[in-house]
Structure 1
Amino acid sequence: MRVSYRWLQDYVKCELSAEELAEKLTMAGIEVEGVVPPIEGLDRIITGKILEITPHPDADHLLLCRVDTGSEVIQLVSGAPNLKTGVCVPVALPGVMLKGGRVEAREFRGELSEGMLCSGAELGTDEWGYGDDKGILILDGETPAGTSLDKAINLDDRILELELTPNRGDCQAVINVAREVKAITAAKLHLPDAQVVEVDDLTENYVEVRIQDPDLCRRYACRVVRNIKLGASPSWMQQRLLSAGVRPINNIVDVTNYVMLEFGQPLHAFDLDMIKGSQIIVRRGRPEEKMVSLDGVTRDIDPEMLVIADQSEAVALAGVMGGLASEVTEKTRTILLESAWFEPLNVRKTAVHLGMRTEASKRFEKSIDPEGILPALNRAAQLIQQLGAGEITEGIVDVYMRPEAARTLRLRTERTNKILGTKLSREEIQNVLARLDFSCELCSQDSLLVTVPSYRVDIFEEIDLIEEVARIYGYDRIPVTYPVGVLVQNRLRPNSIRDRVINAASGFGLDEALTYSFTGEGDFDKLRIPQESPLRSVLMIQNPLREEQGVMRTTLLPGLMDAVMYNYNRKLTDLGLFEVGAVFIPQRPGQIPEERLHLGITACGKIQAGWQGIEEERDYYYLKGIVEGIFEMLGINNLQFQQYNDYPVLHPGRSARILYENEELGYLGELHPDVMANYDIPLRVVVCEVDLETALPFTSEQLLFQPIPRYPGINRDLAVIVPVSISADQVQEVIFKAGGEMLTDCRLFDVYYGDQVPKGYRSLAYSLLYQSPDRTLTDEEVAAVHNGIMDSLAKEIGAQLR
């Protein structure tokens, strides 16, 4: 929002400079991003009076001009055709920067030019009505020589560039910014008094208004102006529009734009003769209905959009843009001025859907003051009358479907001081709010009953009032206080292991993915998640961005699979991704969902060969090793992996539950081939998902160290034949139990099925390391323990030595 400082001064006489006011506004929560002149650099151009013009002695098309600059007389060379003796012109002296570059003193065919005479195009003033590119800008002859150009052409204004937060849509009106200035500086406020002289001709005889959808249009008011005289608006109005970044068009359109900037209320002017049946009907669009908007584009209208229609067709998109058929033109003799309140969300949806974000829609989207509709309408009528552009008929057609009482809120003095850390009295708080036009009544000894002005559509709760007190009282005046808290015994929480898990997963060569917290029910079908699965009990989103993201996720897998598919479609097939994020478990109606922290991992392809030229497959065992490594870094050792054949998401022979002390933490495995077919990815993908909050009680922040062995170890291999039903973990558990302290490591290095192994059995080969911390072991000691391990395997699980 661009606000002219000079325009502000019409409503509130402020003794501060524009820069000082900008700082005050920013400290009060209305951020001023910059203070700039209407046109950059005009203050460095001075005015000069041409005293004498003579032809250049060596160039037919050049003239020598002796120019008085107020402090000296200089010679300037120019070829402009409109120069005359005695006129006042803009002069750029050496060193001044213009659009074309830096001005320097230079010779033209032997004659020195000590600067440059400027045209409106060179200065950028032509768009503001001063000069063009056909000759030098000629100024008012009464302008004293040596005056800075911005003052000479009345452009010595400053523009405040406001960076408004979404809740302060009211400050898209100059008069509401003036109200803020009044509250900050305690200056007097003078708002425009819209007095209209009406002709003896009733407005209701010209038009009838019907609102068919009061949920989307609470109020619609209009005036009629007859005997229209279309023309250019005066320069003062054009300059104010240009200072706000709005292009002047004609007096009628300029008035509507001027009032929109002034009051924050968008207006629209219809050619009333083009409104069939003299009826304005506010309704939803009809199926397959079309309308040509003011920009000449044919728009497809649907029943979700609100339109302004006449007896037969839509003539405007409510809150967004008018229609070409009812545009005000030179032939227009009678206009209908519209001022209305449209539902913000519906305006935004229409504007976004059609790609038509207009100045009007930006204001309606943030909600406007329903009580400001008539003042804005009367102000527009007054300006049209003041410009001699038409006659105002008697009365206003005003259809107000759902008037609302003023909002009243209770504000407690104790609560205000507790939040702000201040010691304000009730009277001081009341005085602050009064500066913002909030009326207050004594509610109790400690409380005020505060009535909120209708234009402050962002104030709904007590905390909003406390914020108003803080920013007007002054954030810089609020004393510094330190937070007070009670120390409690430290214990691990879900967020305390988040960084540890992320660091561990990154250290294993995985890339972190961040995916949306919402997904679609169709993702459950692609993953073959059963209908009866608890994962399908989801929290629905009331207003999803799109249908495919209509529920809160109960698993991280859909987002990770979308990431795999995105990369695969771009020829990236060697992936290792992880995400640490929340899943959302619905609770009883009225309760917020439970958020649980999960770790999800997905991997496919190969790990690229290093200098040794060895490639590693990202398979089940690769991911199992990473999961074990992550949990070891959390202080959890010796995870158990139990076969998981009955989960449709995973491959029945290449999947496992992850257990620790008989508590299920998650799952690990290769995705089912049908799942991969649903994603149309011809790769083998392994996935893992762990509930970190279930694992949390078992984690530890304590690091354990052990010395590097001083004595060598002895390796022995052991191959046994066991039934397929017995897992490798069960065999390894028996080995460690029988090996005692002397056995320090046991690793499975081979699994064999074949002719030499009976049907229903398999061969498992282990590498065992025997080592002592205080001596070198002998072969006899190792043989005794090794034989004991083989005996235990035979007795406990029926293993046979191979």
Structure 2
Amino acid sequence: MLISFDWLKQLIHTDKTAEEVGALLTGAGLEVESLHVQEAVKGGLEGIVIGEVLTCERHPDADRLSVTTVDIGTGEPSHIVCGAPNVAAGQKVVVATVNSTLYPTGGEPFKIKKSKIRGAVSEGMICAEDEIGVGTSHAGIMVLDTDLPNGTPAAEYFGLSSDTVFEIGLTPNRADAASHLGVARDLKALLRVPYTLPSVEDFKVNNTSCPIEVVVENIEGCPRYAGVTVSGVKVGPSPEWLQKRLRAIGLSPINNIVDVTNFVLHELGQPLHAFDTDKITGNKIVVRNLAEGTPFVTLDGVERKLRATDLMICNAQEPMAIAGVFGGKASGVSEATTSIFIESAYFSPDTVRRTGQVHGLKTDASFRFERGTDPNMVLFALKRAALLVQEVAGGEVSSEIVDVYPYPVQNQELTLSIDRAHMLIGQYIGAERIKTILTDLGIQITGETETHLNLSVPPFKVDVQREADVVEEILRIYGFNNIEMSEDLATTYLAKFPNPDPEHITRTVLDYIAANGFHEIITNSITDSKYYTLAGEEAQASLVRVLNYNSEDLDTLRGNMIFSGLEVLRRNINRRQRDLKLFELGRVYAQQPDGKYKESTRLAFFMTGNRSAESWNEASSKVAFHDLAGVVQNVLIKLNAGEWTVQPLEASNLMRQGIAYLKNDTVVAQIGVVEQQVARALEVKEQVWYAELNWDYLLKKYRSSLVAEELPKFPEVRRDLSLVLDRNITFDQLKQVAFRTERKLLQDVNVFDVYEGDKIEAGKKAYALSFTLLDRQQTLTDKVIDSIMNRLMQQFEKQLGAVIRK
């Protein structure tokens, strides 16, 4: 569940940071699994400020350029060369300062650098709206009408403040917290400040020209059903504020009517549905069950066969929606809709859960209904939605509110023993603290004695059914961390969580490498400094030299693992042992620019010769890049090092044709071919594949916890794609584009064929890729799969210049 911090602060005031609020919520049982910043525009306009053009003169060597000085609030004017025809002295403008990064509309990001343009110094850039991503116009620079001081961040001028979004792992028992209001309730108790509900006092019935009759035949499945009609609406895009709220929590805006229902659901926790009143035959809604096997087409265009137990929302003749789960295609809101009936109801959790499981449907509405919503929120949410619809789509309330609620849901009456509460808590906190917490959580105290409290628990507290549940509510607000350990508590009651043992981790990984056919070598860490003339000046400058060496061949501590490994290869090859797979865990040494010395551990691999010995039933083949890369990747996985990125190996005197693995901008592993001149200098004529891992860093990042997840209930789908690209495009670039394009359903990307030859254009190569798609909530449809594949193909063409082979 995603919760917007800005949205939350509309309900409850707090001066605490998002991180502090996240820690409070986690301590109270709403575990904040992650925090991420939602930027109004990419980059958040960081480094972009308001400036004032002080002078503007034509460039002496370019008719279309102007040389300006601009005050950006730093004290010294900045010299900026500008190509816009409308730049002039006295203007307030938007300036991208040196080292800022621009994210233009429809273009690639680029960094602003201090430069010379036709001989004139330029210390920034005066921007058009498309260049900073706030619009599409490129007719000229933006000229602002503002009194803001020079140097003011442009984000402040445009009102583009970023939002922090909490990702909360909502447990099944916390149905009451499945909304911004639900989270605000907990914060009220944690912070001891009130929350404020949005006002619905302005709700009024304008006329009764469009009444809708409601009949509930299945009261058990639908204890409460309410609705109201709004006529004269104009369906269209939502205003920016509403779209921003929905995007912050991962929802795509659809239209102003649907967006309002989604907004109220996530604000108050009450699901709503809007029907086109022209589709409500007979101006009548009937909540009932239909015959087994009745066909019904849902909003996704799929025809489903209904069960007799499915609760349906029908008009006088036909079904319009599956109650609490999914709307129907025929009755949904469209651009032609001018009048709507807003449904706000309380459906039985058992009914909704059973229907959702039978049809394999999971929606935001069913998620809440099947856990239990608040029947007392039905009318408030309905009025809130009607007012918002009028605000964003116009129209008038054209019927009285219909509210069918024959048997109101009562509060749960409980008795709490104060002594037992303290016993279960494990610590005395006092009756007054208990009462404060309960009232802050909305639980009423209807009576009390010295030993007991009589409580009335509102229906939104679905999980509070007994005394122990009340104590749990008290304890999570009081704080589990505030419960002191007893002095006589035996340590045998505590589970052991030993720190990872570096020796054990190292032995486990080395055993794995050996099990894959590699032989461990141990070489001398003192070596010949002459080798490092092959490594370049920087490597020679960082050598740690031995002052009292006994041999000229052993006069320095090794700076890398390559040369000592090549010596072992040479010795074995000279004795006709040509197919070699070796590894070594050893120390390397370096002298830093400040004169201090650094010692670190590296894990090195060497491969040369054939993959396997000659055999009558299998042809011999030389070892290749992927033979070594597969082992290195498995070592990284075994270390549970998390995600890493791959990039081409930087040019080096020692290695070529390889890749580097990076984590947090630190190189954790490198794979490549040892340069031929380096190998030959040590009398090794065969091609040698080499890999080196930053062992100290990997041990530091080692995570012992294993991630387990439930097996998917729905099948995964594979789709293949063939495309032709420039030869320098890597598979990792393709993979990054794919996962940026489809974050939710794409599980894996694999390349199963690569072709370079005379059948395609020179300088090109062909990739055959497979894509694995999986939705853990429902079976993927061809429509969804085709949409994803089309988007992937478009992005490959746009970002990488790929040609799709069809």
TM range (shorter): 0.5 to 0.7
Cα separation, 1, equivalents of 2:87 and 2:362: 46
More displaced, 454-463 or 286-295? 286-295
Q: 1:208 pairs with 204, 213, 218, which one?
A: 213
User: Counterpart of 1:198 in 2: which secondary structure?
Assistant: coil
Equivalent position to 2:239, from 215, 223, 234: 234
**8 Å contact 1:50–1:84 — kept in the other structure?**
no
Identity between Structure 1 and Structure 2 (%): 37
Letter of the structure 2 residue corresponding to residue 342 of structure 1: F
Report the Cα offset of residue 234 of structure 1.
Answer: 3.2
Task: For 1:294, give the aligned amino acid.
Answer: L
Structure-1 residue corresponding to 2:17? 17
Contact 1:230 1:389 in 2 (8 A): no
Q: Over residues 644-665 of structure 1, what are the superposed CA-to-partner deviations in whole Å (9 max), with x where a residue is unaligned?
A: xxxxxxxxxxxxxxxxxxxxxx
The alignment partner of 1:166 has SS state of coil
The verdict on how the C-alpha distance between 1:148 and 1:200 changes in structure 2, with shifts beyond 3 A counting, is: closer
Structure 2 residue 194 is the aligned partner of structure 1 residue 191:
no
Distance, in Å, in 2 between the alignment partners of 1:122 and 1:351 is 47
Over 3 Å counting, the alpha-carbon distance change for 1:382 and 1:139 in structure 2 is farther
Alpha-carbon contact 2:93-2:144 (below 8 Å) kept: yes
Instruction: List runs of 5+ in structure 1 lacking aligned partners.
Output: 488-802
Alignment partners' CA distance in 2, 1:400 and 1:185? 36
SS of residue in 1 equivalent to 2:382:
helix
SS at match of 1:324: coil
SS at 1:327 equivalent:
coil
- Per-residue CA deviations over 1:402-437 (Å, capped at 9, x if unaligned) read 422101222111111111221123232112211112
Residue by residue over 1:11-58, the C-alpha shift from the partner in whole angstroms, topping out at 9 and shown as x without a partner, is: 222132222222222222222233433216416232233626677777
Deviation (angstroms), 1:212: 2.8
Quick one: structure 1 residues 57 and 245, their matched pair in 2 at CA, closer, same or farther if it must change by over 3 Å?
A: farther
Distance 2:85 2:113 in 1: 22
**Does residue 360 in structure 1 map to residue 372 in structure 2?**
no
CA RMSD between the two structures: 3.4
Indicate if the aligned counterparts of 1:35 and 1:158 stay in contact, CA closer than 8 A. Answer: no
Q: Which residue, 372, 375, 388 being the options, matches 2:377?
A: 372
Cα contact 2:101–2:109 (8 A) shared by 1: no
Aligned 8 A contact 1:4 1:157 in 2: no
- Picking from 295, 307, 316, the partner of 2:312 is 307
- Deviations along 1:605-630, one digit per CA (max 9) or x if unpaired, are xxxxxxxxxxxxxxxxxxxxxxxxxx
The aligned residue for residue 73 of structure 2 is 70
Native 8 Å contact 1:233 1:254 kept in 2: yes
302-311 or 467-476, which deviates more = 302-311
1:338 aligns with 2:347: no
Contact 1:30–1:162 (Cα < 8 Å) also in 2: no
Residue aligning to 2:432: 427
Name the SS of the counterpart of 2:387 in structure 1: helix
Which residue of structure 2 aligns with residue 532 of structure 1? none
SS at match of 2:214: strand
**Could you tell me how far 1:356 is from its partner in structure 2?**
4.2
Q: How does 1:205-604 map to 2 (within 5 A)?
A: 206-351=211-356, 354-387=359-392, 389-481=394-486
For 2:44, which of 39, 42, 57 is the aligned residue?
Answer: 42
- Match of 2:199, as an amino acid? D
Q: Distance in 1 between matches of 2:323 and 2:301?
A: 17
The secondary structure found in structure 2 opposite 1:448 is: strand
In the other structure, the counterpart of 1:174 is 180
In structure 2, the residue matched to 1:4 is 4
Q: Which amino acid aligns with 1:19?
A: E
Helix, strand or coil at the partner of 1:13: coil
Aligned-residue offset at 1:339: 0.6
Q: State the secondary structure of the residue aligned to 1:93.
A: coil
State how far apart, in whole Å, the 1-side matches of 2:355 and 2:64 are: 58
Which whole-Å CA distance do the structure 2 matches of 1:84 and 1:238 have between them?
A: 36
> How far off its partner does 1:88 sit?
3.4
2-structure distance, mates of 1:461, 1:90: 62
2 CA distance for matches of 1:245 and 1:140? Answer: 33
Worse overlay, 466-475 or 349-358? 349-358
Instruction: Give me the whole-angstrom Cα distance separating, in 1, the residues matched to 2:305 and 2:129.
Output: 43
Cα distance in 2 between the residues matched to 1:281 and 1:202: 20
C-alpha spacing 1:109/1:472, structure 2 compared with 1 (3 Å): same
Distance change >3 Å, CA 135–CA 159, structure 1 → 2: farther
Displacement of 1:161: 0.8
CA distance in 1, matches of 2:82, 2:430: 70
Instruction: State which of 104, 128, 135 in structure 2 corresponds to 1:131.
Output: 135
Give the superposition deviation at 1:372: 0.7
Is 1:141 matched with 2:145?
A: yes
**Deviation (angstroms), 1:379:** 1.0
User: Aligned-pair distance for 1:208?
Assistant: 1.5
Equivalent position of 1:594 in the other structure: none
Change (3 A) 1:43 1:207: same
Asked if the contact 2:257–2:393 (Cα under 8 Å) also holds between the matched residues in 1, the reply is: no
The answer (yes or no) to whether the contact 1:367–1:457 under 8 Å persists in 2 is: yes
Residue type of the alignment partner of 2:173:
N
Structure 1 Cα separation of the partners of residues 322 and 138 of structure 2: 42
The question of whether the paired residues in 2 share the 8 Å contact of 1:46 and 1:69 is answered with no
**What is residue 492 of structure 1 aligned with on the other side?**
none
What do residues 304-338 of structure 1 show as CA deviations (whole Å, max 9, x unaligned)?
43322212222222223322322223332221001
Measure, in 2, the Cα distance between the counterparts of 1:84 and 1:209: 66
Alignment deviations for residues 177-236 of structure 1 (CA, whole Å, 9 cap, x no partner)? 222221111113222221244345338x62121223333322211001112233443333
Match of 1:608 in 2: none
Residues in 2 aligned to 1:139 and 1:30: alpha-carbon distance in whole angstroms: 47
Q: Is the Cα–Cα contact under 8 Å of residues 6 and 158 in structure 1 kept in the other structure?
A: yes
Number of aligned residue pairs: give it.
481
Partner Cα separation in structure 2 for residue 342 and residue 248 of structure 1 = 26
Aligned-partner Cα distance in 2 for 1:332–1:398: 24
Matches of 1:83 and 1:48 in 2, distance apart? 14
Higher CA-based Rg = 1
Output the CA distance in 2 between the equivalents of 1:374 and 1:328: 22
Is the contact between residue 218 and residue 342 of structure 1 (CA under 8 Å) also seen in structure 2? Answer: yes
Structure 2: how far apart are the matches of 1:449 and 1:82?
74
| Partner SS, residue 37 of structure 1 | strand
* C-alpha distance in 1 between matches for 2:285 and 2:384: 22
CA drift at 1:440: 1.2
Superposed displacement of residue 131, structure 1: 1.7
Following superposition, the deviation at residue 264 of structure 1 comes to 0.8
CA pair 316-430 structure 1, distance change in 2 beyond 3 A: same
Instruction: Work out whether residues 226 and 345 of structure 2, in 8 Å CA contact, stay in contact via their aligned partners in 1.
Output: yes
Q: Cα–Cα, structure 1 residues 19 and 56, in superposed 2: closer, same or farther, change >3 Å?
A: farther
Please give the alpha-carbon distance, in whole angstroms, between the structure 2 residues aligned to 1:108 and 1:295: 55
Matched letter for residue 70 of structure 1: G
Call closer, same or farther: CA 1:66–1:296 in 2, change over 3 Å: farther
Which amino acid in 1 is paired with 2:23? E
CA separation in 1, counterparts of 2:165 and 2:144? Answer: 28
Shift of 1:345: 4.3
Contact 1:198–1:393 (CA under 8 A) maintained in structure 2: no
TM-aligned CA deviation for residue 265 of structure 1 = 0.8
SS in 1 for 2:38: coil
State the match for 1:104 in structure 2: 113
Specify the code of the residue in structure 1 equivalent to 2:51: K
SS at structure 1 position matched to 2:335 = coil
Task: Describe the SS at the equivalent of 2:161.
Answer: coil
User: What amino acid sits opposite 1:187 in the alignment?
Assistant: V
Q: For residues 143 and 181 of structure 2, what CA distance do their matches in structure 1 show?
A: 33
The structure-2 alpha-carbon separation of the partners of 1:390 and 1:465, relative to structure 1 and needing over 3 Å to count, comes to same
Matched-pair contact (CA < 8 Å) for 1:426–1:447:
no
1:76-119 per-residue CA deviation (whole Å, 9 max, x = no partner) reads: 56667887873533625315485735443345555554345667
Q: Is the 8 Å Cα contact of residues 224 and 346 (structure 2) preserved in structure 1? A: yes
Q: Which moved more, 1:380-389 or 1:367-376?
A: 380-389
